[in-house]
Each structure stands twice: as structure tokens, then as C-alpha cells.
């Protein structure tokens, strides 16, 4: 995949800030200094470690009331563990679930556990324990409550086995399974402005991408299609990558979901390469809503170097705006402000990517406009 490259946002910001006339003009209009014109990811990067920031966030974010999900500051994580089938699988799935739970708690999430091996005490967080209530019903009820409430973002982590019958992919629960189409339907009842991350680490997970894609959604799968049905390794690497310093490819002291995906995908491939094994899983990331995932092999650092034959926008920009532990500037943001910031940063990404299509003067003028809007948003003016 190549070596780490400088964050293109940071790089272009430093270049535009060096463009004296425009910087002076924008700063004079708003009374801002140079350091105010970039996001905190480039100009206000603290020396604190990711774990220290996580501790700060955990104490500053309003605590979600269990079962209500009514706080606009509430960041939710559903960790769903499927039927294991064998004791060795149960241990592996439980370890992944525990890793996600620990990371989520450290990052200030309300973590809700559903499924085999998560323990009755965790299941009680989702609904009243009852032997007659299946994990599928617990999931449906949890999503219903989330739809009725107001949350900042939702992460759904699927750990377990999956199947594909040639027509649809399913995730195997203890009890009735669910298909990608069913999960997509349930998610359709959630607010469209709610950022949703879906990490499906099961075999055949790639067969669910088209059913789960949508606006403000990031879908990560262990496989490129439903036909890859062997046991997957990607899930274990992904669970650890979201908090791994090695994932910070652009060296901005933040670990985005894109960076975690790229590290986990690389480690998965290295597992197969180690003993010349034939790779039976090929992780994908989809975040532009077209239903077609992008392989980690298309990236050099965090930049997409592969080209789609149909000219479609590459995946990755939205995932690079999503963090388990968000940048410090986002700790006290409202849901609306966070959404506006993400949209502005995505617009900047698109403008930079299509720079060659703009006259130089128009390009820098538009870039300055977007940075000034971002600066004003960051300053709350």
C-alpha cells in the first residue's frame, strides 16, 4: 500500500495559509489568526495520547440513559455477537466483543451488548432479560428505541458467522438470523442525518453492502462478496486497529475509521502472505452511498490511487472524518455543528481531488471560502 503520506488536508491548508494575500484577507474579515483557519486536526493537535483524550471525552459527554437514547450528545455502540458453533469460535468472538466494549467505553460511547457470550448483565442494558426474547428481537427493539430518541452517532459491530445462499447474505444469531435487507429496512427508520457506522466482520459480509449503504453511513466488511464464506480474520485486527497508534497514517495524532480499516486490511493480508496462504477474505469500505465498496489496495497512505472504470467518486473521505475518539474540537460539538463540519471538510476533500478541473484563481478563491466557513464554525461565530 506504500508509505504514509502527509494528510492532504493539512498539506493544502499549510500551502493556502502561506498564500499571504488570501490568508490576510480572510483573517481580517473574521478577526482570526492563521491558527484559527484550520481544523484542530492540523493546527491544534495536542500532545496528549489518544487514550488520554478518551478519558477526557468519557467524562465530558453527557451520559446516555439506558434504554432511552434521548440525549443529543449520546454516542451509541451496538456490539452484536452471533452464534459461535464451536468453543474456539466463542472465545475468539467474545475477545473481539470485549475489545470493542473497552474501546467504546474509553471513547465515551454507551455500549450495548447483544448476543451469544456477551453475558446476561450486558443484555439487560438492551431490554429486560427473558428466555422468550431472541437476540433478533433485542436488536429490533434497540433500533426502535434509537429511532425514537436523539443520538449523536451510532456504531453497529457485527461479530460472528455469516452465510450466503446465492441470493442474500445473512448474519447468524443464536436463534433467528437476519439478512442484509432486513437490517437495511430497520436502519431505514432511523433519522437520515444520524451518522451510522456498520462494521460487519462475518463471512459473506460483503453481500450486505448494497442493502446497508446510504447517506451518512459507513459500511466496512470482511469480504468483498457473499461468496467468501470461510472464517474471517479481519474482525480481530479491526477491533484493535481503532485504538492502535500504528493506524495513524497521516501522523495527525488521530485515528480515523479509514485509517483503522487500512491497517486492519493490511494486517489481514499479511496473515495470508506469511505462509503463502490463499486469501479467502478481501475487506471493503463503502461510504459514498453507491453500494460499491473500495479495497484497501486502492489506497497509498490515505489517498486513493485506484481508479473506478465508471468514474464514480472513491470511498474513504467520510470514513476519514469519523473517529472512535474524535478530535478535541469535536468534544463539545452539537450534532448539527458536527454534521456541518463534516460536510465542509468533505467539500474541501472533493475540491482538492478535482483541483485539475478548476482555473487556479477560482480554485484558491473557493478553497479560501470553505476554510473561512470552517474557521467560523470552529469558532462558533
In a domain, 121, yes or no: yes
Residues 6+ apart with CB under 8 A from 41: 7, 9, 10, 252, 254, 327, 329
Indicate whether 216 and 284 sit together in one domain.
yes
Indicate whether 178 and 195 sit together in one domain.
yes
The count of C-alpha atoms lying within 13 angstroms of the C-alpha of 134, restricted to the half-sphere facing its C-beta, is 12
Please give the Cα distance from 36 to 334 (Å, whole number). Answer: 19
CATH number of the structural domain spanning residue 179 = 3.40.50
Q: What digits encode the pLDDT tens for the residues 299-329? A: 988 888 777 666 677 799 899 989 998 775 4
> Chain centroid to CA 182: how far?
21
pLDDT bucket at 94, cuts 50 / 70 / 90? very high
Residues 6+ apart with CB under 8 A from 272: 278, 279, 280
Indicate whether 323 and 353 sit together in one domain.
no
pLDDT at position 126:
37
pLDDT at position 330:
46
Indicate whether 125 and 96 sit together in one domain.
yes
* DSSP structural state of residue 285: E
pLDDT at position 302:
84
pLDDT bucket at 25, cuts 50 / 70 / 90? very low
In a domain, 16, yes or no: no
Indicate whether 325 and 345 sit together in one domain.
no
Q: What digits encode the pLDDT tens for the residues 209-232? A: 999 999 999 999 999 999 999 999
State the average pLDDT over residues 153-168: 97
Q: What digits encode the pLDDT tens for the residues 40-85? A: 334 333 323 333 433 333 333 334 544 444 455 689 999 999 999 8
Whole-model pTM? 0.73
Highest mean pLDDT among 39-48, 107-116, 238-247: 238-247
Indicate whether 259 and 134 sit together in one domain.
yes
Please give the Cα distance from 295 to 268 (Å, whole number). Answer: 12
Indicate whether 254 and 353 sit together in one domain.
no
State the average pLDDT over residues 106-111: 93
Q: What digits encode the pLDDT tens for the residues 357-375? A: 888 888 888 888 888 888 8
pLDDT bucket at 346, cuts 50 / 70 / 90? confident
**For 278-303, b where at least 16 C-beta lie within 10 A, e where not — what string?**
eeebbbbbbbbeeeebbebebbebbb
State the DSSP string of 121-142: HHHTTTS---TTS-HHHHHHHH
In a domain, 8, yes or no: no
State the average pLDDT over residues 138-148: 94
253: left (phi over 0), alpha (psi -120 to 50) or beta: left
In a domain, 4, yes or no: no
> Chain centroid to CA 85: how far?
29
In a domain, 21, yes or no: no
Number of domains in the chain: 2
In the chain, alpha helices (H)? 8-18, 20-30, 40-43, 50-60, 87-106, 120-123, 135-148, 180-187, 209-212, 234-241, 257-274, 335-353, 360-379
In a domain, 28, yes or no: no
Indicate whether 317 and 368 sit together in one domain.
no
pLDDT at position 31:
34
Residue 278: pLDDT over 80: yes
State the average pLDDT over residues 164-189: 97
pLDDT bucket at 345, cuts 50 / 70 / 90? confident
pLDDT at position 328:
59
pLDDT at position 28:
32
pLDDT bucket at 259, cuts 50 / 70 / 90? very high
pLDDT bucket at 285, cuts 50 / 70 / 90? very high
Indicate whether 255 and 378 sit together in one domain.
no
Residue 38: pLDDT over 50: no
pLDDT at position 200:
98
Cell of 162: 455469516
pLDDT bucket at 15, cuts 50 / 70 / 90? very low
Indicate whether 208 and 254 sit together in one domain.
yes
In a domain, 354, yes or no: yes
| 250 and 5 Cβ atoms separated by less than 8 Å | yes
Please give the Cα distance from 108 to 326 (Å, whole number). Answer: 10
Indicate whether 256 and 351 sit together in one domain.
no
Higher pLDDT, 296 or 309: 296
Residues 6+ apart with CB under 8 A from 269: 279, 296
Tell me whether residue 37 is exposed, middle or buried, using C-beta atoms within 10 angstroms of its C-beta: 0 to 12, 13 to 18, 19 or more: buried
Indicate whether 246 and 354 sit together in one domain.
no
**For 161-196, b where at least 16 C-beta lie within 10 A, e where not — what string?**
bbbbeeebbbbbbbeebbbbebbbebbeebeeebbb
In a domain, 123, yes or no: yes
Task: State the CB neighbour count (10 A cutoff) for residue 45.
Answer: 16
State the average pLDDT over residues 121-128: 38
Higher pLDDT, 323 or 331: 323
What is the span of the domain harbouring residue 270?
54-332
| Mean pLDDT over the full length of the chain | 78
pLDDT at position 311:
66
Amino acid at each position: 500500500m506504500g508509505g504514509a503520506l502527509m494528510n492532504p488536508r493539512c498539506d493544502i491548508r499549510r500551502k493556502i495559509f502561506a498564500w499571504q494575500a488570501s490568508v490576510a484577507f480572510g483573517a481580517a474579515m473574521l478577526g482570526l489568526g492563521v491558527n484559527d483557519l484550520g481544523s484542530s486536526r492540523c493546527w491544534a493537535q495536542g500532545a496528549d495520547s489518544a487514550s488520554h483524550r478518551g478519558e477526557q471525552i468519557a467524562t465530558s459527554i453527557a451520559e446516555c440513559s439506558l434504554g432511552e437514547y434521548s440525549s443529543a450528545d449520546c454516542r451509541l455502540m451496538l456490539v452484536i455477537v452471533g452464534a459461535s458453533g464451536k468453543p474456539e469460535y466463542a472465545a475468539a468472538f467474545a475477545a473481539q466483543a470485549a475489545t470493542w466494549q473497552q474501546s467504546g467505553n474509553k471513547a465515551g460511547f454507551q455500549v450495548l451488548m447483544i448476543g451469544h457470550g456477551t453475558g446476561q448483565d450486558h443484555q439487560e442494558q438492551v431490554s429486560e432479560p427473558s428466555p422468550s426474547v431472541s437476540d433478533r428481537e433485542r436488536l429490533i427493539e434497540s433500533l426502535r428505541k434509537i429511532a425514537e430518541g436523539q443520538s449523536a452517532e451510532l456504531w453497529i459491530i457485527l461479530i460472528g458467522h455469516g452465510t450466503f445462499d446465492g441470493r442474500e447474505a445473512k448474519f447468524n444469531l443464536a436463534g433467528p438470523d437476519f439478512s442484509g435487507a432486513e437490517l437495511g429496512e430497520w436502519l431505514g427508520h432511523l433519522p437520515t442525518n444520524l451518522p451510522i457506522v456498520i462494521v460487519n466482520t462475518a463471512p459473506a459480509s460483503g453481500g450486505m453492502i448494497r442493502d446497508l449503504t446510504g447517506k451518512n453511513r459507513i459500511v466496512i466488511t470482511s469480504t468483498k462478496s457473499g461468496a467468501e464464506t470461510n472464517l474471517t480474520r479481519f474482525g480481530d485486527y479491526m477491533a484493535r486497529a481503532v485504538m492502535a497508534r500504528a493506524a495513524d497514517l497521516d501522523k495527525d495524532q488521530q485515528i480515523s475509521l479509514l485509517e483503522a480499516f487500512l491497517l486492519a486490511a493490511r494486517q489481514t493480508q499479511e496473515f495470508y502472505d506469511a505462509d503463502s496462504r490463499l486469501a479467502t477474505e478481501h475487506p471493503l469500505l463503502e461510504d459514498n452511498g453507491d453500494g460499491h465498496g473500495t479495497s484497501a489496495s486502492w489506497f497509498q497512505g490515505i489517498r486513493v490511487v485506484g481508479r473506478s472504470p465508471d468514474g464514480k467518486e472513491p470511498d474513504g473521505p467520510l470514513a476519514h472524518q469519523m473517529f472512535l475518539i474524535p478530535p478535541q474540537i469535536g468534544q463539545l460539538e452539537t450534532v448539527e455543528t458536527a454534521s456541518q463540519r463534516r460536510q465542509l471538510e468533505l467539500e474541501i476533500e472533493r475540491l482538492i481531488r478535482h483541483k485539475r478541473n478548476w482555473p487556479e484563481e477560482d480554485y484558491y478563491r473557493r478553497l479560501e471560502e470553505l476554510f473561512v466557513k470552517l474557521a467560523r464554525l470552529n469558532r462558533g461565530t
